[in-house]
Amino acid sequence: MKRGFAVAVRARGGRGRGTPANPAADPAATDPAGSEGSVPRRLLAVATRLFAEKGFDRTSVQEIVDTAGVTKGAMYHYFDSKDDLLAEIYTRVLRMQMTRLERIASGPGAVSERLGEAAADVVVTSIANLDDTTIFFRSLHQLSARKQREVRNERRRYHELFRSMVIEGQQAGVFTDRVPADIVVDFYFGSVHHLSTWYRPEGEWSATDVGGHYARLLLDALRPGAPQT
């Protein structure tokens, strides 16, 4: 197997069957709140469960704090609103993915190896945190316009760094330039965001399997001389 296609991630909530443990892949590992029992961690865990069970709009702040066993004052010490909780559920995953992408992009190896590793990594980490990302995308439209802009700006930073590796390979002649890098990135991440509609952890393929397949499809499509339609 080529370098970069085996990605180690600790799955959350049973996602990512068959992937080895790696604390760096867990958003909690980069959460400054600290231990498993910290107030922010409890609030996020409870909010994630309630949003999944009842929906964002039908879950009240009072229900969240009662279930988490904290006061509203404690919640508002860490989060300004229910919107902030929803945004944090997703952005903590995105921050973890950005940290990993920065390491991959600046690391050693040919650009094709680095892009392959990055392509597999975003699939594996998305599957490992599939509940969080699914809840967020289902409820994104219910966030305030300001909060939506903030989240989209964070996601754009990730896509731009990924795109820079595509451009690097195109300029070096390693990847075909017949398809603009922007379209390559939009197409690839469209398929990543679609994972929640079909991936099942109890199914035939592990998260690592799927990540490897996605990465190979991307690199094959970018190979100079590959059939173009």
Residues in the chain: 229
Q: What percent of the chain shows pLDDT beyond 70?
A: 82
Domains of the chain in start order, with CATH, are 33-79 (1.10.10.60), 83-229 (1.10.357.10)
pLDDT computed for residue 27 by the predictor: 52
Tell which residue, 83, 53, 87, has the closest CA to residue 67: 53
CB atoms within 10 A of CB 29: 12
Question: Tell me, what DSSP letter sits at residue 163?
Answer: H
Q: How many CB atoms lie within 10 A of CB 42?
A: 20
pLDDT tens figures, 78-116: 999 999 999 898 889 999 999 999 999 999 999 999 999
> Binning pLDDT at 50, 70 and 90, where does residue 169 land?
very high
Report if pTM > 0.85: no
